[in-house]
């Protein structure tokens, strides 16, 4: 360990910890709860626009892919019937296995969330 390294470690030049990004909670009357991030990077917004506009799939396929894209990027946790699901791959698997009512709840939550936090992003 050199002299500079010792001096840096003593002076506490470590970068301050990043603040936690804000989140929003959405809940339904039947006990579902969805926690979504309130921050979306410009790169993610560009990828979403490309997914929505540049999709050669049918309109319905593009619509489902857009919903999955937003869910994948924004969802932090989803509680259904008292069982919490967290983690990106687990959340996406749970969405793909969701009932029609659960998908409707997610879709409505994403629409409300985007209109409040990301007015430039058109949710499916």
**In this structure, is residue 88 part of a structural domain?**
yes
Residue 120 pLDDT: 87
Residue 60 pLDDT: 75
- CATH number (domain holding residue 87): 3.30.2220
**CA 116, 28, 124: angle at the middle one, nearest 5?**
45
Instruction: For residue 62, give the H/E element and its range.
Output: helix 59-74
**In this structure, is residue 57 part of a structural domain?**
yes
**In this structure, is residue 16 part of a structural domain?**
no
Entry pTM: 0.79
**In this structure, is residue 68 part of a structural domain?**
yes
**In this structure, is residue 9 part of a structural domain?**
no
Q: Domain range spanning residue 66?
A: 21-117
**In this structure, is residue 97 part of a structural domain?**
yes
Bridge partners, 72 (sequence order) = none
Asked if residues 32 and 102 have their Cβ atoms less than 8 Å apart, the reply is: yes
d(CA 75, CA 95): 11
Q: Which segments of the chain have a pLDDT < 70? A: 1-19, 54-57
Residue 95 pLDDT: 95
Q: How crowded is residue 70: how many other Cβ atoms within 10 Å of its Cβ?
A: 26
Handedness of CA 58, 98, 122, 111 (dihedral sign): positive
> What is the tally of structural domains in the chain?
1
């Amino acid at each position: 360990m050199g002299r500079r390294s010792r001096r840096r470690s003593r002076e506490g030049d470590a970068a301050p910890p990043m603040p936690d990004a804000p989140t929003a909670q959405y809940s339904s009357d039947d006990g579902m709860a969805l926690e979504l991030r309130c921050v979306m990077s410009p790169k993610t917004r560009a990828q979403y626009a490309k997914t929505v506009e540049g999709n050669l799939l049918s309109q319905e396929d593009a619509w489902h892919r857009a919903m999955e894209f937003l869910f994948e990027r924004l969802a932090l946790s989803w509680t259904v019937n008292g069982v919490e699901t967290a983690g990106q791959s687990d959340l996406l698997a749970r969405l793909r296995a969701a009932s029609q009512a659960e998908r409707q709840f997610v879709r409505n939550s994403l629409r409300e969330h985007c209109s409040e936090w990301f007015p430039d992003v058109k949710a499916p």
